[in-house]
Structure 1
Amino acid sequence: MVDYDQQYPGYDLANNAGYGTAKHLAGLAKLGPCPIHRRSFSPVQEVLTK
């Protein structure tokens, strides 16, 4: 996830352990999903349907 954090800044991926941390969810809301986001993750679905 550290490598992805450098590739996709703004999502706090280096500190993400497979669940939506507050910083990660804030990045998702601000930036939208990136290519590595699981489309089945409900917060991603919420962003995509807005």
Structure 2
Amino acid sequence: MNQTASNYKFIQDLINYNFYAEAQASWNVNNLIYDLEKLENNTRQ
């Protein structure tokens, strides 16, 4: 693989990793919100 192709692949991998990390973070936040709402409902009863 020449330098340009190798640089391009590196950037592609970086972009894919960032998308994955953002999706993961967003999933974690949603789970946290869900848990907090569940907790709140349990304490109200």
Same fold, TM-score > 0.5, yes or no: no
Provide the TM-score with structure 1 as the length reference: 0.23
The structure with the larger Rg is: 2
Provide the TM-score with structure 2 as the length reference: 0.25
Higher helix share: 2
